[in-house]
Amino acid sequence: MTEYLSVSTLTKYIKYKFDQDPHLQSVLLKGELSNFKKHSSGHLYFNVKDKESVISAMMFKGNATKLTFEPKEGDEVLLEARVSVYERRGNYQIYVNKMQLDGIGNLYQKLEELKKKLTKEGFFNQSQKKLIPKFPKKIAVLTASTGAAIRDIHSTINSRYPLVEQIHISTLVQGTQAKQDIIEKIQYADTLDADTIIVGRGGGSIEDLWNFNEEEVVKAIFNCNTPIISAVGHETDFTLSDFVADVRAATPTQAAVIATPDQYELIQQIKQYQFTLTRYIKQYIDAQIKQLNHLSSYYKFKQPSLLYDQQIQKRDELEKQLKQFISKRLERESQHLKLLGQSFNLKVLNQQIKQNKQTVTQLRSRMSQLITNNVATFKAELKNKIENLNNLSPTNVMLRGYAIVNKDENVVTSTHNLKENDKISLTMKDGKIDAIVEKVRWKDE
């Protein structure tokens, strides 16, 4: 009888074959993510496809947490995985250990990481932006010497504001040497005393524009003292140079528009100002003529003598008042001078000096007597205090046969502070004695 296999038996056998094949334990794949889902457990489930095939895939949470980017639908990726069979559904799938963006995806990842870093460091802060001068005298243009970008910029500036001086600095905008060339040309342009610098190029892929995403180029733009307009690529292209520049232009033509005023608009403004000024001057002249006519009709101007008759009379009155004031002032000062002369009579002054001398002599005598009495009093008090100190001095007490008892460098004032075999020292008038207590007798014994 023929022996039939169960589905699970066959599936396990196939899985065993997959798991034992060393070529399937670590495979390197590239493809596009589709049907991407992140489970609440942290595991990732998705498909990897190319133009002809699709493979089911999953990535455990432990490996997913090590990713340096956020996978999403449509990402082109490079995978390191092992191939096995999921027994429950009986289909083969890959278990991904490592994943990274492929090609252009790596550039976008690098761009985002650098953008976050420079944003955190403050390179894109609006407060750091410099104003673009409204009426520039000199503009430095950094771009390739050939191509649509330089033609668009020059033609736009010439048509809008031909007064400005244009300095074209031929700059590499693509290739391995472009980064350093862009930095050097920005630093050179910053020394030319230009009012504005335009850094631009035509559109291209992210790889073509990558030099304008380099950190060193961003820092060169940030450190430039001259205002910079970035015009890199087309309207949909964004580079880090656009974010750090003082102004971002969608195209090189727009950069030229931002950097210059429109001569036709200026001419219209000048005409408007001319019209306004002419109207104002006419109104002002008309008002002054009207004022002049009004003043010329005043009755005093018809009889000029009326203008100064009153003033002549007023001058005479003031002259009279001035003479009276001067006369009274002279009389008052003369009286004051006379009184001062009497005050300084020599005889009276000598009498005052003599009297003051007598007063000084009396005061000197009194002061001398007072000092003598005070000194005598202080001497007596000092003598009395010295005697009291001598009476209270421990040395005088010891001269009468007394001694000072010390124990452990402390003065003993009571027999209760001593006990047998204590070591003590006796200080007498002519030296010290070391002793040992043989017996202590208290008064209450």
Rg (C-alpha) for the chain, rounded Å, is 56
d(CA 67, CA 421): 88
For the chain, which residues score pLDDT lower than 50?
A: 1
Q: Report CA 34 to chain centroid distance, whole Å.
A: 48
pTM of the shown model: 0.47
Q: 16 — phi, psi (to 5°)?
A: -60, -45
Domains of the chain: 5-100 (2.40.50.140), 105-123+135-260 (3.40.50.10550), 393-435 (no CATH)
Cβ atoms 17, 24 nearer than 8 A: no
- Amino acid 415: pLDDT: 78
* pLDDT at residue 398 in the model: 67
With a CB cutoff of 8 Å and minimum separation 6, the contacts of 203 are 209, 233, 234, 237
pLDDT in the model for residue 302:
67
What angle, 0 to 180 degrees and rounded to 10, lies between the N-to-C axes of helices 178-189 and 215-222?
A: 0
CB-CB contact of 306 with 300 (8 Å):
yes
User: For the segment 249-285, what is each residue's pLDDT rounded down to a tens digit?
Assistant: 888 899 999 999 999 999 999 999 999 999 999 999 9
